[in-house]
Amino acid sequence: MSAPLKIPMPLRVPELAPSLGRLIVPRRLAEPWVPLEDIREELATRVLELGGEGRVAAMREERDQVLAAMGRAAWTDAWERAVRRAAERVADALGREIEFTGRRMRMPRRRWRQRLLSGTEKRAIAARLATGGGRFMAALDELDAAAARVADASVLDKDAHGAWQEALRTAARRLEAAWLALEGAVDEERRRWAPEFADIAAWRPPLWPVFALWLPFAVALVWLGLVLGGYLPAPPWLAQRLGF
């Protein structure tokens, strides 16, 4: 007796825009101190593009392409690019603030340049901005598992298809939360670096060069005044010049 024919389950990519929420339509009381709108829009657009690519592949019944377009690697690449760009923008803004404050306080160029962010500090900023993506990454793990089940699902395995679609929606919701956490982390970076800015703003030029340059001159003027007033004898070379 031959085995029953297995008909693969047609894959349908759900609409992800409602699940992206504030990643598409932001609602905030104040704008981040570093402009992030273009990065947010790029991230949201990329996810919607992935959904479009998945739907086109689904119409062609290209199951592998559907799963690749909506797979972990594509989501991760979009998120990591957004984190990287946001971290670079924060680092640039901090660098400009350090330079502006240093110049305003007339700090020597060499000194304020020593305070600019190092490569390690820039990587640390990127790591802190990505911290809020933990639940998003966990959602991608669940998406991977659901994709593995739906890859071989037949038309009779409707639960597997429904679980995969729900895993996609969950990933989109977790991405929204990750982005909101990133915005909060960007604001926290400004507070984290506030003591550094305050330290630069409190800088004052050292006074010892003033004393080193002007004290001998002041002593010489006082001595000359005493000589001209007759309180001190004039040395021969000065007496000759002054006609004493």
Region 8-23: mean pLDDT is 88
State the DSSP H helix or E strand holding residue 26, giving kind and residue range, or none if neither: none
Give the other-Cβ count within 10 Å of 242's Cβ.
Answer: 10
Q: What is the tens place of the pLDDT at every residue in 100-115? A: 888 888 888 888 888 8
What pLDDT score does 25 carry? 87
Phi, psi for residue 112 in degrees, rounded to 5? -75, -25
pLDDT per position as a tens digit, 220-232: 666 666 666 666 6
35 pLDDT more than 80: yes
CB 177 within 8 A of CB 132: yes
Dist CA 201 CA 104 (whole Å): 8
**Residue 45: predicted pLDDT:** 96
In the predicted structure, residue 3 carries a pLDDT above the cut 50: no
Domain extent listing, the chain: 17-205, 207-244
**In whole angstroms, how far apart are CA 75 and each of 70, 78, 242?**
7, 5, 90
Instruction: Give the pLDDT mean for 72-99.
Output: 94
Can you give the pLDDT at residue 11? 85
pLDDT for 52-63, tens place per residue?
999 999 898 888
**pTM of the full structure:** 0.79
Provide long-range contacts, Cβ within 8 A and 24+ apart, for 108-116: 111/203, 112/200, 115/196, 115/200
Distance of alpha carbon 124 from alpha carbon 202, whole angstroms = 26
